[in-house]
Chain A
Amino acid sequence: MTEDDIIARLKENVIQGRKTQQDEGIDEKLSGTPGVVELTRLALEKRISLEEIINALTAGMRVVGEKYSSKEYFIPDMLASAEAVGEAMEILKPLLEAANVETKGKFAIATVHGDIHDIGKNIVAILLRGAGYEVNDLGTDVPTEKIIEFIKKESPDYLGLSALLTTTMTEMGVVIEALKDSGLRDRVKVLIGGAAVSDEYAQGIGADAYCVDGFQAIKVLDSFQQAKTS
């Protein structure tokens, strides 16, 4: 396989949402051929530059985004592609760090204390990872103290809080208060999401944004990033 082939296939496999050789993708002809993970490793073996690899991944995601907008693709397609890109970024992470290349931003996400629902949280994590953010998933039913501890230690740029239930959404306010009490509130932007919450609720508890879904989370984070750089 030539370098050009690897780059072309990398892009195509992102479009197909094939993380590994085992993944089915959409086009049956690709069945059993290397997926994004194998191709990323092969690209590194062939000493293809990090920039070229990342450009191929980004170009693939751009096509996926276009197909999603035109309703040719659905959320499962978007997630599969984002997950594949997220895995590739994990492989590239040590090399990017060694080369002093910064990620788009560090994002921590958790389902708050008392709530074990995680489908929405997981989808947001996959999409943000695929969009180039470094994502730390703290899990479900996460005690406020654990979140505070993580913010102190890892200093993420963003914190995502998820809750499905009206009985647990109040815990989001508790986390924000705890951030204030610990003097951390200014260091991290807080985004909230979940079936029970709303824009109004986010404003009420002092969150920085409410995101209706993972796609909006990408938009919100990108806008924060843009504000930071400008």
Chain B
Amino acid sequence: MPREGILVPNPYERITDEQVQQIHQASLQILVDPGLICFSKKAAEIFQSNGAEVAAVASADHPHWHIKIPEKLVTEALDNAPKTVKLGARNPDNALIMKGDEPRVYFISGSETNIWLDVDFPTYVKKSDSSIEIKVPEFHPRRATVADLCQSAHVCEHLETLDGYIRTVNIQDEDITEDNKDVNKFFASLNNTTKHFMSGLTKLEQLDNVVRMAELIAGGKEALKENPIISFITCLVKSPLQFVADTTDTFIEVCRRGLPTAVSSSPQAGTTAPIKEAGIMAQINAEVLAGITLGQLVNKETPMLYGSVPVMARMDTLSDSYGSVETSQYNIDCVQMARFYKIPNYSTSGVCDAKIPGQQSSIERLFSDIVVTLSGPQFLHCAYGLLDCNAVFCLLQAVLDDAHFQMIKFFLKTPRINQQELVETMKQIREVVETPQKLYIGYIRQVMRSGEISPPYPFEGDGESDSVFALAYQRMNELLAKPVEHIDPETTAKIFQEIPGLLPRLNVYKEGK
């Protein structure tokens, strides 16, 4: 049985059907005029051989092509793209089945940050009264390592609401190079979680090693096809409207291998996309449609997610403002566009501008997590633990996020109002009003234990003290102490034998470990 996710009964929609149509039409026009600039020769050739208008642009430094994608190619690609996408998992019970027309949400971690935020709790003594001491969390940023990636995969395995794992940190150990980064990040993640794993690829040359590793874990080529335990995210279109050379080539090769891919675009309203909602929507939709079209031309019926990571620019710095309200609006618009095409959507929430866990991070992430979830994206990259836009990952924040996703999931439970419930409760009402105390307490206890009542916030302190961080830290350490379900010794041995570049210290069965 795959994971259930959470079905949003009446998904929230910001834009009308007419506006969806208008965006769709505008995007089709953009794909023809002005079209896209393409820095990938392979992609230009594929488009050309399938009837797109492709013209080489003279450039001494970077050869590129001007591509106009006709509506027919886009429409065929949308018809061919699977409407149901399965993302498998090492533990088949953790598989995710996403249907493009069903607003069933799965919560996923991510994305790749450079900085890992350590936490400790030094004690402070009150100057005017030394008998009063308090513990205050302090956050210490440092470069992330492969050991951190293992730890975060391990904790994410045990976070109840998290359905899949996107690698949280960019591994920057001294012995990690461009050549061995991919195999090590895939192995570190897959060896520490049994949930689905999605990642980008650093180097195309490592794709076959990574796929081979997944085949060994899944039980062979066919088994991997049946249970795709890995998937890829590719931001092949750089806004505005440019196919990037290396990512596009990677995308083409991933599609050739038939593995699921999120076709993602991340325009910034105000700089790389128009500041007006209509403009950024028409552009991002065009960029994603261009990617989907290319993927389906490469390999018909390749499973794909309509990936959208639109963001608003901060007016003070022109950097990304994931915590802005507009970012959530764009994301919800994209959810509606993907549902219009019946292609499962990869959406974004929970990324915040705040640099450390605290009130700002809670407000920003909770706001977007609630509103974007309510719109019903299938694959919600909801950024467990992410801070400072995409720069910092904090395990403590991930544990805090799990608690509020439990609340969101609880909120979305199907209402239990039916004739039987009404008859039973009306009987209670009649009985209770006849009693002197007029309390329904006698009817609470079984319900209380059936999971029908939402639990209190798990990090609530005693009295008036705010112990949220301290209690979440305790929970984080409890999760870290839980056992890890590693890949079995035999498969691990095969992986280390066949896949070059793996760090020996990642082999948990190695003698002496």
Binding site for B on A (CB under 8 A): 17, 19, 23-26, 28, 74, 76-77, 79-80, 83, 118-119, 122-123, 125-126, 137
Q: Are B441 and A28 in contact (CB under 8 A)?
A: no
Chain A residue nearest to B437 (CB atoms) is A122
Closest 4 CB pairs of A and B: A76-B444, A122-B437, A76-B441, A79-B441
Q: Are B438 and A80 in contact (CB under 8 A)?
A: no
A207–B448 Cα distance when bound, in Å, is: 37
Give the contacting residue for A80; candidates B436, B442, B449; CB below 8 A: B442
Q: Are A119 and B445 in contact (CB under 8 A)?
A: no
Please report which residues of chain B, range 441-461, place their CB below 8 angstroms from some CB of chain A when the two chains form the complex: 441-446, 448-449
Q: Does B422 contact A (CB under 8 A)?
A: no
A27 to chain B minimum Cβ distance, whole angstroms, is: 9
Interface centre among B437, B438, B448 (most CB of A within 10 A): B437
- On whether A23 and B438 interact (CB within 8 A), knowing A74-B448, A76-B448, the answer reads no
Cβ of A23: which chain B residues have Cβ within 8 Å of it? Answer: 442
A118–B438 Cα distance when bound, in Å, is: 9
Q: Does B439 contact A (CB under 8 A)?
A: yes
The number of residue pairs between A and B whose CB atoms lie closer than 8 Å in the complex comes to 38
Q: List 15 A-B contacts (CB under 8 A).
A: A17-B445, A19-B442, A25-B445, A25-B446, A28-B446, A74-B448, A76-B441, A79-B441, A80-B442, A80-B445, A83-B437, A83-B441, A118-B438, A119-B439, A122-B437
Cβ of A118: which chain B residues have Cβ within 8 Å of it? Answer: 438
Q: Are B439 and A122 in contact (CB under 8 A)?
A: yes
Chain A residue nearest to B443 (CB atoms) is A24
Q: Are B445 and A126 in contact (CB under 8 A)?
A: no
A119–B441 Cα distance when bound, in Å, is: 11
A110–B441 Cα distance when bound, in Å, is: 21
A88 to chain B minimum Cβ distance, whole angstroms, is: 15
B453 to chain A minimum Cβ distance, whole angstroms, is: 10
Cβ of A79: which chain B residues have Cβ within 8 Å of it? Answer: 439, 441
Cβ of A119: which chain B residues have Cβ within 8 Å of it? Answer: 439
Q: Are A77 and B439 in contact (CB under 8 A)?
A: no
Cβ of B446: which chain A residues have Cβ within 8 Å of it? Answer: 24-26, 28
- On whether A126 and B442 interact (CB within 8 A), knowing A26-B449, A74-B448, A76-B448, the answer reads no
Please report which residues of chain B, range 423-446, place their CB below 8 angstroms from some CB of chain A when the two chains form the complex: 436-439, 441-446
A137–B445 Cα distance when bound, in Å, is: 25
Q: Are B436 and A137 in contact (CB under 8 A)?
A: yes
Give the contacting residue for B442; candidates A24, A28, A122, A137; CB below 8 A: A24
Q: Are A126 and B448 in contact (CB under 8 A)?
A: no
A129–B482 Cα distance when bound, in Å, is: 45
Cβ of B441: which chain A residues have Cβ within 8 Å of it? Answer: 76, 79-80, 83
Cβ of B442: which chain A residues have Cβ within 8 Å of it? Answer: 17, 19, 23-24, 80, 83
Give the contacting residue for B437; candidates A17, A25, A77, A126; CB below 8 A: A126
A74–B444 Cα distance when bound, in Å, is: 10
Cβ of A137: which chain B residues have Cβ within 8 Å of it? Answer: 436
A23–B436 Cα distance when bound, in Å, is: 17
Give the contacting residue for B445; candidates A19, A26, A122; CB below 8 A: A26
A111–B211 Cα distance when bound, in Å, is: 73
A85 to chain B minimum Cβ distance, whole angstroms, is: 14
Please report which residues of chain B, range 389-410, place their CB below 8 angstroms from some CB of chain A when the two chains form the complex: none
Query: Assuming A24-B445, A24-B446, what are 6 further A-B pairs, CB within 8 angstroms?
Result: A24-B442, A25-B445, A77-B445, A79-B439, A79-B441, A80-B445
Give the contacting residue for A125; candidates B437, B445, B448, B449; CB below 8 A: B437
Cβ of A28: which chain B residues have Cβ within 8 Å of it? Answer: 446
Cβ of B443: which chain A residues have Cβ within 8 Å of it? Answer: 24
Cβ of A77: which chain B residues have Cβ within 8 Å of it? Answer: 445
Chain B residue nearest to A121 (CB atoms) is B437
Q: Are B449 and A122 in contact (CB under 8 A)?
A: no
A125–B437 Cα distance when bound, in Å, is: 9
Cβ of B449: which chain A residues have Cβ within 8 Å of it? Answer: 26
Q: Are B448 and A122 in contact (CB under 8 A)?
A: no
A123–B439 Cα distance when bound, in Å, is: 9
Cβ of A19: which chain B residues have Cβ within 8 Å of it? Answer: 442
A79–B438 Cα distance when bound, in Å, is: 13
Cβ of A74: which chain B residues have Cβ within 8 Å of it? Answer: 448
A112 to chain B minimum Cβ distance, whole angstroms, is: 19
B210 to chain A minimum Cβ distance, whole angstroms, is: 46
A26–B438 Cα distance when bound, in Å, is: 21
Interface centre among A19, A23, A118, A122 (most CB of B within 10 A): A122
B399 to chain A minimum Cβ distance, whole angstroms, is: 20
A223–B445 Cα distance when bound, in Å, is: 31
Chain B residue nearest to A139 (CB atoms) is B436
B328 to chain A minimum Cβ distance, whole angstroms, is: 36
Cβ of A76: which chain B residues have Cβ within 8 Å of it? Answer: 441, 444-445, 448
Cβ of A24: which chain B residues have Cβ within 8 Å of it? Answer: 442-443, 445-446
A83–B441 Cα distance when bound, in Å, is: 10
A137–B446 Cα distance when bound, in Å, is: 29
A139–B444 Cα distance when bound, in Å, is: 24
B427 to chain A minimum Cβ distance, whole angstroms, is: 11
